[in-house]
Chains A and B, each alone.
Chain A
């Protein structure tokens, strides 16, 4: 059965704007993105929202619903009470283009700063031989749909915009971990993770994991293991000594 829901939607351009109130019809089985589309169709034809697949796989409709980063297409209206006012705002960490659409180019810039997969020069394409157990750990990270909600919620840049130059955010620290764990990647990523991409800024409060719509254990499986690899390289004298005595390459993490 349908009902009339109270919505507050942030509207504006270039950062200036305000929350506008709407009363809008809601039908059974709908999600928040459906309601935003109904607002476009009936009351606010110029309301801007980015969306694409409506199946939680493209990562386009990231927004903040009642203050929490969520995908609009995966947030069911049935999770709210009928008398609840639902507040919808754009992601706070990124600049606003218009209404609910943000400029996420920060993320593309950070992606470009990470050197791509670097196989050994002696191994040619087609010669890679890996067992499933060697790669399945980092396959979890490949589920990422690049909704950038982890980077949006991370307080390191959400609350401290000045850190954006020094911090890649959980999405791209996870990418570094994925490459560092790859059996055929030979690039040295530990120093860069700490010194250039700001792994040390992460204080593992796990908000990235909490908001991930793909349920990737970003903190436990990517960021903390990467922190431990950095400790191997930079802060553990025993590992350093062992690498000298036993002449391991790259202090051990490529074993």
Chain B
């Protein structure tokens, strides 16, 4: 007797291997998200304190978290950018509140930091091949995370902030070349600017968006340089985060009179 399709047993529906364990990884996969969480939380706590701390200037040093100082009422004359303070007496809040959103936005939307905090804070995923705890996921395809696409605008702002930090460092070098604070500010300005230049948006803008490199040799060379920096973007992001925090704290300690030695 011929067997018909209706007689034959239905093929078993294929499904994934039913494995209950969240992960079968045996290494210390939890270290990266844990360390990320601790470091970033420490940075956020410090930044919050620094914004509201008024000891941001000890001539000629300017704390990076409060630079540029743009308000007449709260900025000593020496602390103003080219002596310029566009905001009058009416602004009496901490100067950092005015500008910190720009570098913070640059770091928040940075492709490296996104990886780090999606893993460390949102656990999406906590580590590769470790199940995330969320029942639904739309990633950066919808509001609010679709706003991550404005990263390049923060990059433009970060270039300006980087130049201002370089200005602060040069000013300190001219006025107090032997001061440790001068070299702390110089080191920080270099690292901040390297981090900014290593940005993926910068890489795209220099020439990444082109398809014919051979028609744009200058931009191609710039792209090659930025690509080399970009390979170290993660390292530069972390080192510059520590450097800006360290430089900021150093200036505040000098301003508070805690560091009083001759070459401070």
A119 at the interface (CB under 8 A from B): no
Give chain B's interface residue range (CB within 8 Å of chain A). 35 or more
Q: Assuming A15-B14, A69-B129, A156-B137, is B114 touching A204 (CB within 8 A)?
A: yes
Q: Roughly how many angstroms separate A136 CA and B99 CA in the complex, as a whole number?
A: 41
Q: Roughly how many angstroms separate A14 CA and B129 CA in the complex, as a whole number?
A: 21
Q: Roughly how many angstroms separate A89 CA and B24 CA in the complex, as a whole number?
A: 9
Interface residues of A (CB under 8 A from B): 10, 12-17, 64, 66-69, 84, 87, 89-90, 92-97, 103, 131, 133-134, 137, 153, 155-156, 158-161, 163, 180-183, 194, 198, 200-207, 210-211, 220, 224-225, 227-232, 234-236, 252-255
On whether the beta carbons of B152 and A182 are closer than 8 Å, the reply is: no
Which of B76-84, B117-125, B159-167, B175-183 forms part of the interface with chain A? B117-125
| Shortest Cβ gap from B79 to chain A (Å) | 33
On whether the beta carbons of A211 and B128 are closer than 8 Å, the reply is: yes
**Which B residues between 189 and 223 are near A, CB-CB below 8 angstroms?**
200-201, 203-204, 208-216, 220
On whether the beta carbons of B19 and A10 are closer than 8 Å, the reply is: yes
B contact residues around A220 at 8 Å (CB): 200, 230-231
On whether the beta carbons of B18 and A16 are closer than 8 Å, the reply is: yes
Interface residues of B (CB under 8 A from A): 12-19, 23-27, 111, 114-115, 118-119, 124-125, 128-132, 134, 136-142, 145-146, 149-152, 200-201, 203-204, 208-216, 220, 230-231
20 A-B contacts, Cβ less than 8 Å apart?
A10-B17, A15-B18, A64-B129, A84-B26, A89-B19, A92-B17, A96-B14, A133-B220, A134-B211, A137-B213, A159-B134, A160-B136, A183-B212, A203-B140, A211-B128, A220-B230, A225-B200, A228-B204, A229-B209, A236-B149
On whether the beta carbons of B209 and A255 are closer than 8 Å, the reply is: yes
Q: Assuming A155-B132, A255-B215, is B25 touching A205 (CB within 8 A)?
A: no
Q: Roughly how many angstroms separate A145 CA and B220 CA in the complex, as a whole number?
A: 29
A contact residues around B215 at 8 Å (CB): 255
A contact residues around B16 at 8 Å (CB): 15, 92-96, 161
Q: Assuming A15-B14, A159-B131, is B139 touching A200 (CB within 8 A)?
A: yes
| Shortest Cβ gap from A150 to chain B (Å) | 10
On whether the beta carbons of A87 and B24 are closer than 8 Å, the reply is: yes
The 3 closest A-B pairs by CB, nearest first: A200-B141, A15-B15, A67-B25
B contact residues around A12 at 8 Å (CB): 17-18
How many pairs of A and B residues are in contact by the CB < 8 Å rule? 170
A contact residues around B114 at 8 Å (CB): 203-204
Q: Roughly how many angstroms separate A208 CA and B7 CA in the complex, as a whole number?
A: 44
Checking A94, A159, A182, A236 against B137 with a beta-carbon cut-off of 8 angstroms, the contacting residue is A159
Q: Assuming A133-B213, A254-B211, is B125 touching A159 (CB within 8 A)?
A: yes
Q: Roughly how many angstroms separate A181 CA and B204 CA in the complex, as a whole number?
A: 12
- Most chain A beta-carbon neighbours within 10 Å: one of B18, B25, B131, B215: B18
On whether the beta carbons of A203 and B211 are closer than 8 Å, the reply is: no
